[in-house]
Structure 1
Amino acid sequence: MAETFAAHGLDAASFDVLATLRRSGPPYTLSPRELTASSMVTSAAIAQRLNRLEAQGFVRRSPNSADGRGKQVALTDAGRAAVDAALPDHVATEHRLLAPLDEDERKTLAGLLAKLDT
């Protein structure tokens, strides 16, 4: 999967943030706290990811109009284009990785992974 992301100038961590913003729907904006909660990493890790993505022009941070102390993170047009371009390749890579498993094995794997998520 690293090769797939790298072909789009991304890594797994960056893709995760961009995809989370994309899934949030228009206007593709979340707070850093919401991003932290959805990714299950520390706020420091999210801050590092956001610094890289902002430097690439994929996200923009701005003051939260509802709370002057907070920030909002918005997906830029370039960020949306990057995640939209990477997503089909990412899905194709996942399909290739899971291809050796039959349907029952995939269900078992999904069940086991769900246990780890709790």
Structure 2
Amino acid sequence: MTPHPDPSPADPVDAIVGQWAAVRPDLDTRAMEVFGRIHRLSRTMDDRMEKAYARFGVSRGEFDVLAALRRSGEPYTLSPRRLSAALMLTTGGMTGRLDKLERAGLLRRSPDPHDRRALQVTLTEQGLHLVEEALGTGLSVQTEALTALTPDQGDQLADLLRKLLAGTDEDQP
């Protein structure tokens, strides 16, 4: 696909900013432009990713659980607590996802051999197969969205977003 020519076409955020400029010309709306677009882009991509993963019978949140297990490396096992921390979920939210994924045969919970009071969550062969396929599909959806940018622009955007996130993330050192 051909990248959009510069300057970029007007979007709904431009209309909002224009309205504010008409009634409050004293406001600096740059932050509104940036975060309004980030919010709209996030919602659009969330919808696209949900559709991509739905083809595999999982939601984006359920895919995230399977992906966290896959990224952990063999034997693809983590404690529910580590999964919750990795996905920034409450343990209650994680339990619902684990229940559904276990019923679907995509993971299994078992006693932790090192701590009788704890459980461990392991990706099954079926779960491993599903996450590998869904990962490729999800990356294709994301890559397609990036065709609006040149490779250099994509790199620059990734760097700028990393910097912005580091400046706003309270959990950063």
TM-score normalised by structure 1 residue count = 0.90
Rg larger in structure: 2
Q: Give the number of the structure with larger relative contact order, counting CA–CA contacts within 8 Å between residues 6 or more apart.
A: 1
Structure 1 or 2: larger strand share?
1
The one-letter code sitting in structure 2 at the alignment partner of 1:42 is T
What is the aligned partner in structure 1 of residue 62 from structure 2? 14
Deviation per CA, 1:76-103, whole angstroms, max 9, x where unpaired?
0110111011111111101011111234
- Aligned structure 1 segments of 4 or more residues deviating by more than 4 angstroms: none
Which residue, 105, 127, 130 being the options, matches 1:79?
A: 127
Which residue, 17, 31, 56 being the options, matches 2:79?
A: 31
Q: Gaps spanning 5+ residues in structure 1: where?
A: none
Please report the RMSD computed on the Cα atoms of aligned residues, expressed in angstroms: 1.5
Deviation per CA, 1:23-47, whole angstroms, max 9, x where unpaired?
1111110001110111112111111
The alignment covers a number of residue pairs equal to 118
Which residue, 150, 154, 165 being the options, matches 1:116?
A: 165
What is the aligned partner in structure 1 of residue 34 from structure 2? none
Structure-1 separation of matches of 2:152 and 2:62: 32
What is the aligned partner in structure 1 of residue 118 from structure 2? 70
The one-letter code sitting in structure 1 at the alignment partner of 2:165 is L
Structure-1 separation of matches of 2:160 and 2:115: 40
TM-score normalised by structure 2 residue count = 0.63
Aligned identity (percent) is: 43
Q: How far does residue 19 in structure 1 lie from its aligned partner after superposition?
A: 0.7
What is the aligned partner in structure 2 of residue 61 from structure 1? 109
Structure-1 separation of matches of 2:52 and 2:138: 6
